Amino acid sequence: MASEPVSHAASAANVDVAIGFALPGRHARGRLVRLGPVLDEVLSAHAYPAPIARILSEALTLTALLGAMLKDAGGQLTLQAQTEAGIIDLLVADYRNGELRGYVRFDAERLAETAVLPSLVDLFGKGYLAVTFDQAVSNERYQGIVPLEGESLAEAAQHFFSQSEQIPSLVRLAVDDTGHVAGGILLQHLPEGEEGRERLHTRLDHPEWDHVRILAETVREGELTDRALSLETLLWRLFHDEEEVRVLAAQPLVRGCRCSAEHIRSVISRFAPEERAEMIDTEGVIRVDCEFCSRSFPIRLSDLEV
C-alpha cells in the first residue's frame, strides 16, 4: 500500500458495512465494522435509556465483527450475555448473512439508581459471555462460554478469544457521542496457520503479534466512528508500512428480524391442540411477542387450520 487512498464514496457508503483484511507477512487477519442506520433501526424498536442503548450498540458491532468471520454464508453467530445481580438480565445479538438484530432485558429501577455512566460490573454483575457459531451447511454448532470480565465489552471479548479460542486477539469498540454511529476492529494472530477450527502452535507472546497489536492499538475511537472516513482508508492508516495488506470484499450490513406471521403460525401449529388451547387469552387469541422488534402477532386457532 504505497499511498493513502482517497475516499470518493459518499459518507453513507462508509456505514453499515464490514470488511475483512489479512496481513500475510505477519500471519494476522482482522475485521473492521461501522454501523449507522442499522443501529437506529434496531434501537428504534425499544425506548432504551442511553447506557443500555450504548452497550447494545457495542454488542451489535462486536456481533458483526464475529459474524463476518463465518465461512458458511448461511451460518449464524449469536452473542449472549446473561448475568446474576446485574442491571442487565439478558443481552442477545445475532448475525446471519449480513443481517443483525439484538435486544436487552434490564431493570429500569436499578438503572435509575446507579451512576450516569455505569461500569460493565454495574450493568452485568456476575455473568458470562456466550458466543455460538451455527454452521448451516455442516449443521455443526460450536459454543464458547467465559466469565464477563474486564472494564468493557471489548475486554470481555478479548478474554473470550484468549480463554475459549486460544487466539491472540485485539478488540476495540466505539460509539460516538450521538449514539447513532458505532465502529469496531478485531485483529487476530494465527502464527502457524489453522486446520478447521484447530489453531496450530499459537503463541500469545509471538513477536509478530506484538508488532501488529501495537499498530492496531493506535486506532482512535473517533476514527472508528467517523462516517467520512472509509474503512479502507482507516486500514491504510494503521498498516501502511506493512509489505502486503489484503482487503476482502465488503459485506453490507442490515437490520434483519426474522419474525413473521407465517413463521409464528408454523411454530404454533407444531404444538398439540390441548397445548394451543392453554395459550389462548380471554379474547380467544394466541399472542406472540418478538423481543427483537417489539412486534406482537395475534394468532387465532382458525389461522392454523389447513
Question: Average of pLDDT values for 65-73?
Answer: 81
Residue 215 has pLDDT above 50, yes or no: yes
Closest residue by Cα to residue 68 from 32, 27, 35, 41: 32
Q: Tell me whether residue 8 is in a domain.
A: no
Predicted local confidence at residue 48, as pLDDT: 92
Q: Tell me whether residue 272 is in a domain.
A: yes
Predicted local confidence at residue 290, as pLDDT: 67
Residue 198 has pLDDT above 70, yes or no: no
Predicted local confidence at residue 282, as pLDDT: 77
**The Cα angle at residue 120 between residues 143 and 145, in degrees rounded to 5:** 10
Average model confidence (pLDDT) across the chain: 84
For residues 39 and 112, membership in a common domain is answered with yes
Can you state the angle between helices 231-239 and 207-216, rounded to 10 degrees? 130
Predicted local confidence at residue 87, as pLDDT: 93
The percentage of residues in the chain with a pLDDT greater than 70, rounded to a whole number, is 88
Residue 213 belongs to domain with CATH number = 3.55.30.10
Q: Tell me whether residue 221 is in a domain.
A: yes
For residues 165 and 280, membership in a common domain is answered with no
For residues 120 and 76, membership in a common domain is answered with yes
For residues 103 and 46, membership in a common domain is answered with yes
Q: Tell me whether residue 129 is in a domain.
A: yes
Last residue of a domain, one of 240, 255, 270: 255
Last residue of a domain, one of 255, 271, 290: 255
Model confidence band, residue 126 (pLDDT cutoffs 50, 70, 90): confident
Question: Average of pLDDT values for 285-298?
Answer: 75
Euclidean distance between CA atoms 285 and 261, whole angstroms: 13
For residues 209 and 223, membership in a common domain is answered with yes
Residue 199 has pLDDT above 70, yes or no: no
Q: Tell me whether residue 84 is in a domain.
A: yes
For residues 145 and 218, membership in a common domain is answered with yes
pTM: 0.84
Q: For residue 271, give the DSSP letter.
A: S
Q: Tell me whether residue 7 is in a domain.
A: no
For residues 297 and 161, membership in a common domain is answered with no
For residues 217 and 297, membership in a common domain is answered with no
Q: Tell me whether residue 58 is in a domain.
A: yes
DSSP string covering 111-149: HHHS-SS--HHHHHBEEEEEEEEE-TTT--EEEEEEE--
Domains contained in the chain, number? 2
For residues 136 and 278, membership in a common domain is answered with no
For residues 172 and 236, membership in a common domain is answered with yes
Predicted local confidence at residue 83, as pLDDT: 85
Model confidence band, residue 10 (pLDDT cutoffs 50, 70, 90): very low
- Give me the domain span that covers residue 23: 15-255
- 174/274: higher pLDDT: 174
Q: Are strands 254-255 and 99-106 parallel, antiparallel or unpaired?
A: parallel
